[in-house]
Structure 1
Amino acid sequence: MASASQGPSHAAALENAAIEVVRADLARLQAAKEDAALINAAEDAVTRLEDLRAAWAQLDADLKAAQAVAVQAYAAAQAHAATTAPHAQAVAVSSIKAAIPIVLDLSSTNYTKWKALFLNTLGKYELTDHVLVEIDDDTAADPYWARMDCTVKSWIFSSITSKLMEIVHTGTPSAREMWQNIEEQFIGNKETRVLMLDSQFRTFVQGTLTITEYCRKLKSMADGLADLGHPVEDRTLVLSVLHGLNEQFEYMAALIKRYCPFPSFVTMRSDLELEEINMLSKAPSQALVAAAPPRTTTPATPAGGGAPSTAAAATSPSAVSPSGGATPRGKGRGRGKGCGRGGPAWSTTFNPMTGTFQVWPGYNSGVLGARPRAPGAGAPTGHALTAQGTHGAAPAFGLSGASPGYDAPGAPTPGFGAWTPSPPAPY
């Protein structure tokens, strides 16, 4: 009975144990399922993350590409604006003669200067490509390019003569074609032009030209030879200048040839121009010295108080006044006006009625004759160059003998000499 009663309980225990095992398995299965779901979710998350990363990388690349395009567009806009501004200024230029003052003619010898000025102006407005670069049909068809090409052609028309325009303007040429036609006109037949210009360059002499003009012409010839493909070295140009100098600068040519180091054309021209200026500055002074009259010295007073001859005194440059009379030179040592050494001469009073002049105004006969004298007074000493005042008569100036009257017939011609004092004559 005991064993029979234990059987059902044992079976129930086994059944419960099996159920627990099954439940545990189910729990493990459920956990595994949940783990698998989590794993799948994680894998999905990883996949989505990778997709996001790829999308972000693509977005970043697109952003960088957009930035590069924006930078390029900005640079292109800036370049266009920088190009358009000079072009707009070029279109606004009404006359090109201020920048290109040279008008090119068929017989002009200044093609080099004209070309340099024209290219400089084109470079200023960024239009050099219109004359130096060959363009294709697409560029030529561009309205903007055509407009600027017309601007360059108008500048060419205004800087050449009508005769030259008839030669270089054929049909509807571009600025480039006109430029080539002008170049061919002045540089064509190179060999013949070189022979003629080289011969002129080597035989040209200064003659009566100034140094500046002489050097300018030789430099122009050298530039012309350079345009024709035969450049002249600076040393050869210097030697050609020195060879053609006239006789006034022969010594300068010999001196410059001995410079060490050998001078350049600019240095040589500066030295020659400076020497020419020195010559011109000395010429007026030498002419004045040559034209000045010879100076005559007043003869010394002979021993015994005699006066020098009247003729010698009259020919002295200092003995003639501006009014035609003779004026004595002041020989006093005082500080007053006219009495210092080398001071102004004494003023004179000239009487046109009598043909005489008087230094001292105290004795003047006038038209009516001599002044009445005091009783007992003798004749005045001297003649016309005497003066009477409150202190008596002034001394005679280099006159031999005394005249009875200053206007008497036969009176000697006034002269100048040493002042010999004489006692005053009483009234």
Structure 2
Amino acid sequence: MSFKGSSMTRSSNPFAGPEPSAAAIRDLNIEVRVPIRLDSSSMSYYTWKTYFNLIFCRYYLTEHIDGSVDSEYMRGDPEWSAIEATIIRWFYQTVSKDILHTVVAQDDDACDVWAKINVLFTSNKLQRLVFLQQEFFGCHQDNSTIDEYCMRIKMLADELRGISAKVYDDLMLITLAAGLNEDFINAASNLTLLPQPTFQRVIVYLKLEER
């Protein structure tokens, strides 16, 4: 196997891991392992990318999407090509129609498709940062349950972290408390009394209050 800019082969790379079977990769149910659909209007990019990174690590597929292997050289290898086709199909199955039509191209390899999808969410960092911060700091519970409200804050925080914004637990807790509806006024004032409050501990406390 040829690596870009290197004479190293896969067999001499101690970090490469076992070569995955094309049949085993093909038979994975991607919709179970990535149980969300990525679209440009939802807060799902960070989670979608995290699910895929776990799959790439678990099945030693990282070299298919990190640009370390010359895919042109590898196209003569049937196993490699079969795995490439499967990964590309995974991407197409887990994105919205709008994203699919934006990135689809006949001769792309898995690395190309992965890069195209990621750049849709990272190329306009400043604009996305402004949008996400507005959503995050303007988040209110309204008629949502505690679970729904906290999940919304967590997803927004994850999306912000995905574009290198620093969102600490303290900021999440302040935002959460500020957006609680009037039924939780007393609970919000008691949050400061919790010993070593974390976002997860506060969720547990608020769910008990909700009951």
1:168 to 1:127, Cα distance in 2 relative to 1, 3 A: same
- Mean Cα deviation higher: 132-141 or 214-223: 132-141
Match of 2:121 in 1: 186
Distance 2:92 2:55 in 1: 15
- Gaps in structure 1 of 5+ consecutive residues: 1-74, 278-427
Q: For the Cα contact (< 8 Å) 1:206–1:244, is it kept in 2?
A: yes
Q: Percent identity?
A: 27
Distance 2:142 2:40 in 1: 27
Match of 2:104 in 1: 169
Match of 1:218 among 138, 149, 153: 153
Match of 1:96 in 2: 30
1:128 is displaced (CA, Å) by: 1.9
Of Structure 1 and Structure 2, the greater helix share is in 2
1:81 to 1:116, Cα distance in 2 relative to 1, 3 A: closer
1:82 is displaced (CA, Å) by: 4.0
Match of 1:245 in 2: 180
1:80 is displaced (CA, Å) by: 10
- Please give the residue correspondences for 1:17-416 in structure 2 after superposition, counting only pairs within 5 Å: 82-85=18-21, 87-93=22-28, 95-136=29-70, 139-143=73-77, 144-261=79-196, 263-277=197-211
1:100 to 1:80, Cα distance in 2 relative to 1, 3 A: closer
What is the DSSP-based 3-state SS (H/G/I as helix, E as strand, rest coil) of the residue aligned with 2:205? helix
Equivalent position amino acid for 1:252 in 2: A
* 1:190-228: CA deviation from partner (whole Å, max 9, x where unpaired): 111111211221121111211111101111111111112
1:142 is displaced (CA, Å) by: 4.3
What is the DSSP-based 3-state SS (H/G/I as helix, E as strand, rest coil) of the residue aligned with 2:30? coil
Equivalent position amino acid for 1:271 in 2: Y
Q: Structure 1 residue runs of 4+, over 3 Å off?
A: 79-82, 137-142
Equivalent position amino acid for 1:123 in 2: C
Whichever of the two has the greater Rg, that structure is 1
Q: For the Cα contact (< 8 Å) 2:64–2:84, is it kept in 1?
A: yes
Q: For the Cα contact (< 8 Å) 2:16–2:60, is it kept in 1?
A: no
Distance 1:187 1:256 in 2: 35
* 1:86-134: CA deviation from partner (whole Å, max 9, x where unpaired): x4311333x4212222122232321111111122223232212211233
Distance 1:239 1:252 in 2: 13
Equivalent position amino acid for 2:209 in 1: E
* 1:282-330: CA deviation from partner (whole Å, max 9, x where unpaired): xxxxxxxxxxxxxxxxxxxxxxxxxxxxxxxxxxxxxxxxxxxxxxxxx
Could you tell me the TM-score, scaled by structure 2's length?
0.84
* 1:18-73: CA deviation from partner (whole Å, max 9, x where unpaired): xxxxxxxxxxxxxxxxxxxxxxxxxxxxxxxxxxxxxxxxxxxxxxxxxxxxxxxx
Q: For the Cα contact (< 8 Å) 1:134–1:176, is it kept in 2?
A: no
- Considering Cα pairs closer than 8 Å and 6+ residues apart, tell me whether 1 or 2 has the greater RCO: 2
Could you tell me the TM-score, scaled by structure 1's length?
0.43
Match of 1:423 in 2: none
Alpha carbon RMSD of aligned pairs, Å?
2.4
Q: For the Cα contact (< 8 Å) 2:161–2:167, is it kept in 1?
A: yes
Q: For the Cα contact (< 8 Å) 2:65–2:114, is it kept in 1?
A: yes
Match of 2:5 in 1: none
* 1:322-351: CA deviation from partner (whole Å, max 9, x where unpaired): xxxxxxxxxxxxxxxxxxxxxxxxxxxxxx
Distance 1:186 1:141 in 2: 29
1:164 is displaced (CA, Å) by: 1.3
Distance 1:81 1:104 in 2: 29
Distance 1:214 1:157 in 2: 30
- Gaps in structure 2 of 5+ consecutive residues: 1-10
Q: For the Cα contact (< 8 Å) 1:89–1:125, is it kept in 2?
A: no
1:164 to 1:98, Cα distance in 2 relative to 1, 3 A: same
Distance 1:119 1:220 in 2: 17
Distance 1:81 1:230 in 2: 33
What is the DSSP-based 3-state SS (H/G/I as helix, E as strand, rest coil) of the residue aligned with 2:32? coil
- Mean Cα deviation higher: 132-141 or 238-247: 132-141
Aligned pairs, how many? 198
What is the DSSP-based 3-state SS (H/G/I as helix, E as strand, rest coil) of the residue aligned with 1:97? helix
* 1:126-170: CA deviation from partner (whole Å, max 9, x where unpaired): 212211233236643441322321121111111123321111123
